[in-house]
Amino acid sequence: MTARARSLITVILLVAAIAGLPGLPRADAAPRQVTVATRELAPFVMTQGDVKTGFTIDLLNDIAKHTGWTYTYLENDNVQGLLRTVAEGRADMGAGAVSITGERAKMFDFSQPILNAGLQIIAPVGNTEHTHPGLVDFVKLLFSHSMAVWLLAALALTVLPAHIIWLLERGDPGSMVDKSYFPGIFQAFGWGLGMLSAAPFDPPQRWPIRMITVLWTFVSIIFVAYYTAILTTNLTVAGINSQIKSPADLVGKSVCTVTNTTSATALSKLGVGFTGTSKIDDCFTRFEKKEFEAVVYDAPVLQYYVTHRGAGIADVAGPVFKDEDYGVVFPIGSELRREFDDALLAVQEEGEFDRLKTKWFGG
């Protein structure tokens, strides 16, 4: 092989290797200025001075390595503003935690999903942990409806045995009950209640009453055991019911979310009342002031909040309860969507996409 042939082969191999390196625009990628509608939402889009960072920004930069695009960003206050900017043709595409829904798909073209998301709940840390009943809970139970019902049951259960005791014991000189109905019936009644509380008065004198006493002892054991179990259960359930673990627990609670979003729609369908704000940061601020018992929003946003700004204040309450995907939004028929999807597939195949998810969401 001649030196010229070897040199030619070397050049061809070098060019092929360079062309195959990740992060370089494709040979057919034409430089293009692309206007992107975004919105501030950690950890997707965050601005520090003139520099933008976040998962969405990093992903767009990786896409640009394959398409040759450069970006101009248009800021919007919320997702509705972002969608409006794209619909009016002021932006070539919109990116920044935009949920793909059937209703939106009628008006826009979406890229392939860029992130599996969904809705979730956050609540104060104390409301998501197991609680132990305390003195206040005991006092509430002491004066509760359940306690009153069981005391009435004890009184009713003692009426018949009290009369039997009085009728059979009243004639004995050493009896614990008086011969007269009053106060004899009260003495017998006190004996019956004492048996129910495992603290009987003087034992009866006659054998028939002693046999009844044995039977009444078993009734007392069963009554006290059942009574204790029911009240203990009520006390435990009262503590558990104060927790928020699912959307069903939101009924009757003060809840915050962002208006005109998938979370607001989901809460309305569930019949859960809520206060709507224009930005999720408003919910976070008021939540920190204890104005709300829960915040419902996109799971990645809430998870980022509880590990950063909300650390020690809030915790996620239960699993994701409504699956949804995020995508990049384009006008209907946009030629950029196909290029974006091709570049997104390349980024995923290179492993760069997984690296971004780990960087911003921990895996």
pLDDT at 288: 95
What tokens does 10 get?
A: 């070397």
98 shares its domain with 44 = yes
92 shares its domain with 108 = yes
250 shares its domain with 308 = yes
Positions in the chain whose pLDDT score sits under 50: 11, 15-27, 129-131, 238-241
CATH code assigned at 229: 1.10.287.70
283 shares its domain with 329 = no
pLDDT at 336: 96
pLDDT at 31: 81
92 shares its domain with 189 = no
pLDDT at 153: 73
207 shares its domain with 302 = no
Residue 87 located in a structural domain: yes
pLDDT tens digits for range 19-39: 444 444 444 556 899 999 999
pLDDT at 89: 96
pLDDT at 24: 46
292 contact partners, CB below 8 Å, separation of at least 6 = 254, 255, 256, 275, 283, 286
234 contact partners, CB below 8 Å, separation of at least 6 = 141, 144, 146
Domain that holds residue 97: 20-116+325-361
Residue 212 located in a structural domain: yes
Residue 148 located in a structural domain: yes
What tokens does 9 get?
A: 């082969």
237 shares its domain with 168 = yes
99 shares its domain with 161 = no
CATH code assigned at 286: 3.40.190.10
142 shares its domain with 235 = yes
197 shares its domain with 148 = yes
b/e burial code for range 178-211 (CB count within 10 A of at least 16 → b): beeeeebbebbbbbbbebbeeebeeebbeeebee
pLDDT at 27: 46
32 shares its domain with 91 = yes
Residue 5 located in a structural domain: no
pLDDT at 11: 46
pTM (global) more than 0.75: no
Look at strands 109-110 and 51-53 and give their pairing. Answer: unpaired
100 shares its domain with 42 = yes
Number of domains in the chain: 3
